Structure 1
Amino acid sequence: MAESKPFPAPPGGSGTNEAQQKRKNVGTACSACKTRKLKCSGISPCTNCIKDNVECTFDASADKRRRGALKRKVNQLEEKEELLIQLVSTLRESGTRRTIQLLNLIRSNASPSEIQLYIDTQLKSELEQTPELIEVCNEIQRFEPMGSRSWRRILDAQRAFVEPLFRVPAAPWTTVTADDEFVSHLISLWFTWVHPFYYWIDRELFLRDMQSGSLDSKFCSPFLVNAILADACAYSDSLESDAQGARFYNEAKRLLDKEEGRITLATAQGLGVLWICASMTRKDRHGWIHQSQLAYAVQDLFPSITPPKDVDGEALDLVRAANVTIWGLSNIAMKASLIKPPRKIRLPPITHDPDTDLWVPYPTESEKLQAHTLCTFRALCSLNEIAYDITYPHFHGEVSSSETEKTDELQRRLREWQSELPPCLKKRDAIEVPHNGQSDHRLFHMMPKSHQEACLSSARSISQLMRLHRSAWGVERMPQGTSQPINIALLVLLERLDVPENRDAFINLSIAAKAASRRWSSSKAALDRVRTRAIIHGLHLPTETDSLFADFGKRPENEPSDEFPFPMADTIEISDGEGSDM
């Protein structure tokens, strides 16, 4: 007997409902279903989460359906337009004092949400007390300003995707991410904003080996790569940059432990990066450990720069790279008199290669500029030899009358150093690339001072250098090495704000310090220290800086001090050896 088949369900019956239910598409799944790759009902809480008794969360931004996406886009644009209207009205109608405060906050690269918060908390009550201003705001809101559309187009163009300067793979160098694009972006950031200022890695050799993907490379290692990626995250605009940096940092520490004390060129270079990263993020205990490790790593590295005769090929590359590494790490260690300058090692020769030695302010699209990297590096090395002679007695408690009498000789050496700078570093009215001003920062910071006015003059000069930097590249990104001169200059200027030129310099440096405080916790603590010192000594900060210090509260009593961002350690004197001609 033939098997009977069920009749189709009548119209409107349960069969139709089931078919319609099956055809219904869900715009997005909840986080739990995505993780477990389950079909989600699309309603919060979803069926699976109710069944498994887990939290059910939906990411509305992940819903790519046209209507929902358009609605969110409209809401975002309306919020931006509202902020722009409020900003324009505030600038137009506020008094000069409030306008300058708001402009200085904007100049410090404040985010739209930070600007909105300042207007709401600091300016809104003042505006609402003036009926005329309320009427002006109402009039502005009755029409749609065409200027805001143009402004948005300009901002969108500036945020357009820019190709990374250097293409490198994520694997096998890091397990934190498999995203080649993201790793290439961070590497490009680091070699733009850190490497020219802290020059102890041969960029071309590092990139060559990283692109090869070979773990047997001499100039690249997983430890070095993760240390660089951790440090570079501070320059990323990602909302998760802090968390990403922490993950790379922890991975670098894990890989360093696996080295078990074995020192290679890449290990020494990575320790330098890790020390800087720990110092800028106020990981003080880690900084002390990395500092000591760095000192002994450089000592172990020193024999690498005395090659046998007739060396060539990769062995010659290793000698040259080790030479640069020892000098570069000695330069940063000068801040704590950690490593004695390797006086018998010859400095790399100055070359002006217009085709390879180029700099561009990535990720901003701009013309390529000649970097003068080796010019700056040699100048810093020569300056730090003098700095070592200045600071060593103070760090080791050996200052005597005879040392004090050497002040004139040290000042003569500093003036001689400045007069012998190459032409590309002598321009005082312009800076071709940011790191060209680095040697001036350090000169002003280390000149022996016999009078307060000399200190104030140096602080004003640092302010002028930062003004040039801001006019050329803004303050959205700046070298890590500029933060310490800025902070010290602010403390110097704080004592004489009654002088107009000191006041102007203080305002300008406060803008730069505020921008740096958004990227590094050490810079934020240093800026807070300026405010705290002003309160303790009864000094009044310029009203133009109110917006820059508005979000600082009272420092907790148990919060660590940031008087010196690089921890102290004993000096390691490197055996001079025979020297090298490389």
Structure 2
Amino acid sequence: MANFRALQPARMDEEASPPLPQSRPLLIQKPKRTVTLGACVACRKRKSKCDGNRPICTCCTQKDTGCVYELGPNEKPSQAMKRKNEEMQGELSNLRQLYDSLRLQPEQEAMEILRRIRADPLDTPSSQRIQELADFARHGGTIMQQPSHTPPSPQQNYLGNLVTLPSIRLALEAQYDQSSDILPFPGISSMGSEGPSTRRPRYATDVDVSARSDSLSSRPRPASIEAILHSPSSSHAHCISDTRLASATDWTAVTSNTDLLVAILTSWTTHEYSYYHYLDREALLDDMASGRTDFCSELLLNALLATACSTCPEVHDRGTPFSEFSIMTAFFKEATRLWDLEPDDRSLTRIQAGICLYLFLGKHGRDKAGHVFLAEACRIGQDLGLFGSESPHATQKHSSIPMNKWSHMRAVTAWTLFNFQLNMSFTYCFPVILKTPPPVAIPYQDTPDLEALFRSECTKYTIILDCVNATPSYTEHFDQEKSQPDPGIVEICYQRLTSWWHSRPSILDPEQVPSQQNLLCAMMYHVNIVNLFQPFLALKIPCIAYFDRVRSVTSTALFNLRRLLALQESRNGWSNTITLILHPLVIASFGSLDEISQAPSDAESSEQYQGLLVCLRALAALCSYNYYAQPLFRLLTQKCVALNLSIPGEVQDALDYYTSEEWTKSAKSLVSSQYIADMRKDAERKRMDAVIEAWDGLSIKKGTGRVNDEKL
């Protein structure tokens, strides 16, 4: 029988239970280890458990070793990786800035940069030292101070320290590695990376208006790290601001944020007013500060702020058109409300407001809609006698204004309007509205240095108007059936333009004073030359006897355009430019593509291709703060792909976003433009409206680099 223990009945509850046999003591559960976001460097190397105590962890304290953290307090590894990536990109951009400065700067400045590099202090971190050297190379080591009541002009910035630059041709003919010129364009833009903000329709304290009203808010917008490289510091912007700017809060109901308004108007002075000069800034600010309405109005200031927002880096989402919660859109809506409020108003400020509203809509690809404001401004100018024989006494608003000041303001407004509408006529290809120049003398004769650029542009547009009247094909080049240019008349116009160019004062020379304004004016001069000879290139049956001459002149103009764009990139960058530079960029790009298509062999080693890369980088950077740059960027890159030209990978990333179905659908609903980018063929079909309408079937096959629809 098995030797098992006999089973016993269970004890009753009331029975006392005997003491249990001694068992193993219960284990005391240790507290869970505190989770640390990142270990210190020493613990990672030892593979020890780090408790994350700062400034010295427990393990390093016991082992008496140095404790260094690569992560910041409460910083996640992903955040640290993003921060390191941004630091590396910034350092790379600074090194490229130093390289370009050593390559392009005059010998004396290059030697000074080299001396500073060799005099590297041992107690300064290398990244900080590189940043200091790049800032010195970029700004020349000094920040010019501006008088409080004088607008900062590019000429004044350079008067104190004029330099003699080497020839642009020599500087850009220097061969260098292509990769050194290609700046990265990360797929995630600095704009919109902060995430959506709380939606509220007030702008009293909003500087960062990052909320978006459209579906594009969920998509990262490609942007250029080059924009970070050349972005001006806010301290520099405010140091040149005018004390009268703070009174802008009294003229707009959109926001009471004085710092934001001052920043916007200061940036506008540098990046828009200094080129267009569509009003007298001194008169505007005097009336704005004193509360007078002779040369300032709520309509004018809100319209001015609407277009000025695109020039100010402190206003976010500048590249998102008509966002419901954007402060830029709020200024525009307030300006149009005031415009409709007094439809019968005939004043100088309404003319200037019309120019501002046209500029605003043009930046958003809606120049067709903006044409109403420009045409109305021209009609008011004619009604006020700015282009006729009406006496200024008949339109004087207040007898308290001195007659010489009133006459001066009328002259400034008349010449401003005349220059602007003629400029826009050639940019957007519509008939000239004002066909006679103002009957008064060009203003600012008593301050030749202060307004030299404005007076020079007035002279140029007078010559261009004569060319328009003598050569109808100059403005009808988009209608090839009617255009029959006369070579003799075109040559006369060409000689007049070149004579004007060579007679300009040295302070406007882009090689001696490479300011944004001087460089853009030089670019527009060469664009005017291309426009003058373009009708001959567009003829279905070219004039053989004159064709070689036309090719020679236009090729030289395109070459000079590419040189100036490269100089703009190295000296000023693309982070905050005068937005009209889009037009020279497009002319240079498609002109270069035309030249490459005629000699496709070994195209990527040509000077035209290198200039094309500059244009691609520029457009990719402008996309972050100018909406109209986006469809132009897509059109250009697709042309490059169609010609089997390789484009940088970072530019391809941006193209992937701008060829998405979501972006294309939005562009079709937004863009209403007469602009013609490619004027080589059927120009009417090449207006941007028609181009974007044909984008439905366009896509780029991945891996092939080819466009599956040839109708570009």
The TM-score with structure 2 as length reference comes to 0.54
Q: Is the CA contact (8 Å cut-off) linking 2:188 and 2:221 kept in structure 1?
A: no
Shift of 1:340: 2.2
Distance (Å, rounded) in 2 between the aligned partners of 1:534 and 1:440 = 26
* Alignment-derived partner of residue 238 in structure 2: 163
Which range moved further: 223-232 or 295-304? 295-304
Distance (Å, rounded) in 2 between the aligned partners of 1:541 and 1:563 = 30
Distance (Å, rounded) in 1 between the aligned partners of 2:351 and 2:90 = 49
Shift of 1:457: 2.5
* Alignment-derived partner of residue 442 in structure 1: 524
Residue by residue, what CA displacement relative to the aligned partner does 1:530-553 show, whole Å, maximum 9, x if unpaired?
123344x53424447545645331
Q: Is the CA contact (8 Å cut-off) linking 1:487 and 1:527 kept in structure 2?
A: no
* Alignment-derived partner of residue 151 in structure 2: none
Residue by residue, what CA displacement relative to the aligned partner does 1:392-438 show, whole Å, maximum 9, x if unpaired?
5134679675744311111111122122211222x353434321223
Distance (Å, rounded) in 2 between the aligned partners of 1:231 and 1:452 = 38
* Alignment-derived partner of residue 538 in structure 1: 643
1:511 aligns with 2:617: yes
Provide closer, same or farther for how the CA distance between residues 85 and 507 of structure 1 changes in structure 2, counting only shifts above 3 A. closer
Provide closer, same or farther for how the CA distance between residues 539 and 496 of structure 1 changes in structure 2, counting only shifts above 3 A. farther
Q: Is the CA contact (8 Å cut-off) linking 2:249 and 2:261 kept in structure 1?
A: no
Residue by residue, what CA displacement relative to the aligned partner does 1:221-264 show, whole Å, maximum 9, x if unpaired?
00110011111111222335451111100000001111222111
Q: Is the CA contact (8 Å cut-off) linking 1:511 and 1:548 kept in structure 2?
A: no
* Alignment-derived partner of residue 323 in structure 2: none
Residue by residue, what CA displacement relative to the aligned partner does 1:325-366 show, whole Å, maximum 9, x if unpaired?
11112112113122224253211245568xxxxxxxxxxxxx
Shift of 1:156: 11
* Alignment-derived partner of residue 340 in structure 1: 435
Q: Is the CA contact (8 Å cut-off) linking 2:367 and 2:672 kept in structure 1?
A: no
* Alignment-derived partner of residue 251 in structure 2: 173
Report which of the two has the higher share of helix: 1
* Alignment-derived partner of residue 467 in structure 1: 566
Q: Is the CA contact (8 Å cut-off) linking 2:189 and 2:221 kept in structure 1?
A: no
Distance (Å, rounded) in 2 between the aligned partners of 1:102 and 1:432 = 22
Q: 3-state DSSP class of the match of 2:595?
A: coil
Q: Is the CA contact (8 Å cut-off) linking 1:230 and 1:249 kept in structure 2?
A: yes
* Alignment-derived partner of residue 494 in structure 2: 411
Provide closer, same or farther for how the CA distance between residues 159 and 98 of structure 1 changes in structure 2, counting only shifts above 3 A. farther
* Alignment-derived partner of residue 455 in structure 1: 554
Task: Report the AA paired with residue 564 of structure 1.
Answer: Y
Provide closer, same or farther for how the CA distance between residues 156 and 74 of structure 1 changes in structure 2, counting only shifts above 3 A. farther
Provide closer, same or farther for how the CA distance between residues 282 and 339 of structure 1 changes in structure 2, counting only shifts above 3 A. same
Q: Is the CA contact (8 Å cut-off) linking 1:189 and 1:232 kept in structure 2?
A: yes
Provide closer, same or farther for how the CA distance between residues 446 and 434 of structure 1 changes in structure 2, counting only shifts above 3 A. same
Q: 3-state DSSP class of the match of 2:628?
A: helix
Residue by residue, what CA displacement relative to the aligned partner does 1:36-68 show, whole Å, maximum 9, x if unpaired?
xxxxxxxxxxxxxxxxxxxxxxxxxxxxxxxxx
Provide closer, same or farther for how the CA distance between residues 306 and 280 of structure 1 changes in structure 2, counting only shifts above 3 A. same
Shift of 1:460: 2.6
Q: Is the CA contact (8 Å cut-off) linking 2:366 and 2:673 kept in structure 1?
A: no
Distance (Å, rounded) in 1 between the aligned partners of 2:379 and 2:485 = 32
List aligned pairs for 1:237-386, cutoff 5 A.
237=313, 238-241=315-318, 243-303=326-386, 306-307=391-392, 314-334=402-422, 335-336=424-425, 337-350=432-445, 372=449, 374-386=451-463
Distance (Å, rounded) in 1 between the aligned partners of 2:73 and 2:288 = 42
Residue by residue, what CA displacement relative to the aligned partner does 1:431-451 show, whole Å, maximum 9, x if unpaired?
343212233222111113353
Distance (Å, rounded) in 1 between the aligned partners of 2:593 and 2:576 = 25
Shift of 1:514: 1.9
Distance (Å, rounded) in 2 between the aligned partners of 1:487 and 1:476 = 18
Q: Is the CA contact (8 Å cut-off) linking 2:221 and 2:624 kept in structure 1?
A: no
Provide closer, same or farther for how the CA distance between residues 540 and 221 of structure 1 changes in structure 2, counting only shifts above 3 A. same
Residue by residue, what CA displacement relative to the aligned partner does 1:468-523 show, whole Å, maximum 9, x if unpaired?
23333322111122111111111111123426111111111222222222211112
Structure 1 unpaired stretches of 5+:
1-68, 115-119, 123-153, 354-371, 569-582
Provide closer, same or farther for how the CA distance between residues 512 and 389 of structure 1 changes in structure 2, counting only shifts above 3 A. same
Provide closer, same or farther for how the CA distance between residues 170 and 292 of structure 1 changes in structure 2, counting only shifts above 3 A. same
% of aligned pairs identical? 18
Q: Is the CA contact (8 Å cut-off) linking 2:510 and 2:518 kept in structure 1?
A: no
Could you tell me which of 561, 575, 582 is aligned with 1:476?
Answer: 575
Distance (Å, rounded) in 1 between the aligned partners of 2:383 and 2:249 = 29
Q: Where has structure 1 moved over 6 Å in runs of 4 or more?
A: 72-75, 86-92, 154-157
Which range moved further: 276-285 or 222-231? 276-285
Q: 3-state DSSP class of the match of 2:376?
A: helix
Q: Is the CA contact (8 Å cut-off) linking 1:230 and 1:245 kept in structure 2?
A: yes
Q: Is the CA contact (8 Å cut-off) linking 1:230 and 1:248 kept in structure 2?
A: yes
List aligned pairs for 1:521-532, cutoff 5 A.
521-532=627-638
Which range moved further: 82-91 or 388-397? 82-91
* Alignment-derived partner of residue 576 in structure 1: none
Shift of 1:374: 1.8
Which range moved further: 485-494 or 543-552? 543-552
Structure 2 unpaired stretches of 5+:
1-71, 96-175, 194-219, 223-228, 321-325, 426-431, 534-548, 597-602, 678-683, 685-712
Q: Is the CA contact (8 Å cut-off) linking 2:302 and 2:332 kept in structure 1?
A: yes
Task: Report the AA paired with residue 201 of structure 1.
Answer: L
Provide closer, same or farther for how the CA distance between residues 350 and 504 of structure 1 changes in structure 2, counting only shifts above 3 A. farther
Shift of 1:194: 0.4
* Alignment-derived partner of residue 421 in structure 1: 504
Distance (Å, rounded) in 1 between the aligned partners of 2:558 and 2:297 = 40
Q: 3-state DSSP class of the match of 2:294?
A: coil
Task: Report the AA paired with residue 459 of structure 1.
Answer: L
List aligned pairs for 1:79-94, cutoff 5 A.
79-84=82-87
Provide closer, same or farther for how the CA distance between residues 523 and 156 of structure 1 changes in structure 2, counting only shifts above 3 A. closer
Q: Is the CA contact (8 Å cut-off) linking 1:223 and 1:256 kept in structure 2?
A: yes
Aligned-pair Cα RMSD in Å: 4.1
Provide closer, same or farther for how the CA distance between residues 444 and 373 of structure 1 changes in structure 2, counting only shifts above 3 A. farther
Q: Is the CA contact (8 Å cut-off) linking 2:230 and 2:572 kept in structure 1?
A: no
Provide closer, same or farther for how the CA distance between residues 538 and 502 of structure 1 changes in structure 2, counting only shifts above 3 A. closer
Provide closer, same or farther for how the CA distance between residues 300 and 315 of structure 1 changes in structure 2, counting only shifts above 3 A. same
Distance (Å, rounded) in 1 between the aligned partners of 2:461 and 2:482 = 19
Could you tell me which of 105, 109, 131 is aligned with 2:185?
Answer: 105
Shift of 1:277: 0.9
Distance (Å, rounded) in 1 between the aligned partners of 2:489 and 2:236 = 55
Task: Report the AA paired with residue 574 of structure 2.
Answer: V
Distance (Å, rounded) in 2 between the aligned partners of 1:376 and 1:163 = 24
1:226 aligns with 2:226: no
Task: Report the AA paired with residue 103 of structure 1.
Answer: L
Task: Report the AA paired with residue 408 of structure 2.
Answer: R
State the aligned residue count. Answer: 437
Provide closer, same or farther for how the CA distance between residues 74 and 229 of structure 1 changes in structure 2, counting only shifts above 3 A. farther
